[in-house]
Structure 1
Amino acid sequence: MVDKTEIFSTPSPSFFRKDILSYINEQVGLDYLSSRSKEPMLLLESAGKKSCCIFRVPERFAETNPEAYKPKVVSIGPYHHGGKHLEMIQQHKLRFLHLFLCMARNNGADRNVLFKAVMELEEKIRLSYSEDLGESSEKLVYMMILDGCFILMLFLIVSRIIESDESEDPIFTIPWILPSIESDLLLLENQVPFFVLQTLFDESNIGLPGDLNRMAFSFFNLSMNKPERYWVKHRNFEAKHLLDLIRMSFIPMDEYEDFQLINGESGIKSSSDFTLLLSATRLSAQGVDFRLRSDADSMLDIRFKNNKLQIPLLRLDGFISSILVNCVAFEQFYTKSTNHITSYVVFMGCLLNSEEDATFLSDENRIIENYFGSENEVSQFFKTVCKDVVFDIHTSYLQNVFAEVNENTSTWYAEYRSHLKSPWKLVSNSYSFVSSMLQTIAAILFYLSDQNARQTE
């Protein structure tokens, strides 16, 4: 006869522990294998390395302005490939590829040699992106060649290295298309590695080996309108992609070199020793003078001297605002980047705390040329860009400016400066001082006169 107590008895605690351990071990193995084989990695293990420089901006980071990172007319690279609204320009890429290959052939370059050169870069290309691309080797390499040659043909035509009849080409004749392409080529999610462009250009035998940076600058200068001497300073930069190249061109050369020298020194003040700035109107009320720095090559070249905050002109339009947003994103994600653009945006965000501040810097000081619309939009733009960014002030090229402005707006100095700054306060104080001195002199004279009178008696 079966003992019922054996059937319905509760298993021992050790039985449950073994069962739980078995389940956990099984899931650890299965989940790891499944994550490696089935689901594409959204953040590769290599994303923190120097090789990884093209990132998809996370939704949390982009939620305040998600369209700022999305291409409007042309996809470059894998992240936005196949977008329905991008098909119009996609249809012209093959035409540009054939034009490029024709030019290469005329210069003695074999197309298969060119293709093989890109094929050999496949692993390096994959390591440049922060997530698993999920593309086959064939599709990925073809995409790099198609997009890379499209970009190079744009550069070659605009910089006049090759002659092309643009009079009937819609890319160049319809006014809004080329500026839109310019902006799209400077989005963080819309990049191909710079070494792909360099390889295609070198293997094609079109132009001189050092021409690529110069051609890129000529192309983007359609919207930036900088003098030739500005670009000459940056012709030898080695960038990760086009966005990085333009980002580097904003960095003031002398301050960049100084920053590189001091950044590795020990004894740098901790971030707790610094505070952010007051707004522009409040700083002005505390005695800080604002001046347009008209001799600066870069808008980042901000100086503070003799209690004057010298700020270069900022022409704020859709093109520049897009560059700023995407450069900040790049600096937030690329582990080997400096934080120059982030520093500038945080600095200007402090000054432009309200619509009144934007009006003050636009109308009274002519530091900002506003093509946004209202001054409130200018203030809101900087608030949006600064939201949730990680900013370490003691690694900022502006750390001394932050510190000096705060030091010179301390309570006693601000009081002194505010009295000097206001002519009415100065007149009032001068009158009080002179009046007091006259009263003192009169009292002394009266006393001396009284003493003489007593002596004569």
Structure 2
Amino acid sequence: MERLETGKLFKRWRRAEEYHEAGVQFMRREYDGQSRHSLLDIRFINGVMEIPCLPVDESSESVFKNLLALEQMDYRFGNDISAYVTFMSQIMDTPADATLLVEKGIIVHMLDSDEEVSALFTRLTKQLTIRFDLKYYLKPLCHKLEAHYQNRLNRWIAWLWHNHFVNPWLALAAFAAVVVLVCTIVQTIYTVLPFVKPA
């Protein structure tokens, strides 16, 4: 398995909700009409993960199975689809994870529920093996994501935001409390200063 700089072994990607709770923002990757784009073109920059929109319907499972079989049969095709499917399967490990990606517009499906989307990717990876110790195109993304997740400051700020700043009134009250605290400190300094340095 791939050993990260933190000294922990990387075995799998975390769930989308876990990343979200650590401050990762999921966004649908937008393209203009002039630049070429790919479904595999996932980016993670400054705490924002941009994933291209993935339409899912009844035929998606067979399409992915055929692409995966092609990669598994001939190494010359690489392992990009295998890495992508493994990544999507692991970040959508539960229906709640799939719901998060649907809400962000990353997954657009015509299935009965978000749970079916999660189950579809779980089925795709049943017979799929990807070796994390070998080269695959999402490896740099894996390192950046794990470093962001392991950062305690990122998780603390995300916890604060999710639990206290969702309501605008709570955010305003917290801002007012900070202003009062700063004013109190400044007032205390100006009160004590004449006694420390008499004229």
Assess same fold via TM > 0.5: yes
Q: Which amino acid aligns with 1:373?
A: D
TM-aligned CA distance change 1:401 to 1:309, over 3 Å: same
How many residue pairs were aligned? 183
Q: Distance in 1 between matches of 2:143 and 2:107?
A: 23
* Greater Cα shift, 295-304 or 377-386: 295-304
Query: How far apart are residue 311 of structure 1 and its match?
Result: 0.6
1:436 pairs, out of 177, 181, 187, with 181
2:66 pairs, out of 326, 331, 342, with 326
Equivalent position of 1:378 in the other structure: 117
* 1:210-249 pair list within 5 angstroms: none
* 1:284-323 pair list within 5 angstroms: 284-295=20-31, 297-323=37-63
TM-aligned CA distance change 1:276 to 1:432, over 3 Å: farther
Q: Distance in 2 between matches of 1:417 and 1:292?
A: 23
- What percent of counterpart residues are identical? 26
Please list every run of 5 or more consecutive structure 2 residues that lacks an aligned counterpart in the other structure: 5-9
**Residues 55-103 of structure 1, C-alpha deviation per residue, up to 9 Å, x if partnerless?**
xxxxxxxxxxxxxxxxxxxxxxxxxxxxxxxxxxxxxxxxxxxxxxxxx
Query: How far apart are residue 344 of structure 1 and its match?
Result: 0.6
Equivalent position of 1:272 in the other structure: 3
**Residues 128-149 of structure 1, C-alpha deviation per residue, up to 9 Å, x if partnerless?**
xxxxxxxxxxxxxxxxxxxxxx
Equivalent position of 2:89 in the other structure: 349
**Residues 336-355 of structure 1, C-alpha deviation per residue, up to 9 Å, x if partnerless?**
33111110101101111111
TM-aligned CA distance change 1:297 to 1:319, over 3 Å: farther
Q: Which amino acid aligns with 1:445?
A: Y
Equivalent position of 2:131 in the other structure: 392
Q: Distance in 2 between matches of 1:318 and 1:427?
A: 47
1:339 pairs, out of 68, 74, 79, with 79
Q: Which amino acid aligns with 2:141?
A: V
Q: Distance in 1 between matches of 2:85 and 2:104?
A: 19
CA RMSD of aligned residues (A): 2.8
8 Å contact kept, 2:25–2:48:
yes
Q: Which amino acid aligns with 2:26?
A: F
Rg bigger for which structure? 1
**Residues 311-332 of structure 1, C-alpha deviation per residue, up to 9 Å, x if partnerless?**
1110111223211122223323
Equivalent position of 2:145 in the other structure: 405
Please list every run of 5 or more consecutive structure 1 residues that lacks an aligned counterpart in the other structure: 1-269
8 Å contact kept, 1:275–1:402:
no
- SS of alignment partner, residue 369 of structure 1: strand
Q: Which amino acid aligns with 1:437?
A: V
- SS of alignment partner, residue 318 of structure 1: coil
8 Å contact kept, 1:420–1:426:
no
8 Å contact kept, 2:21–2:159:
no
Task: Compute the TM-score of the two structures, normalised by the length of structure 2.
Answer: 0.78
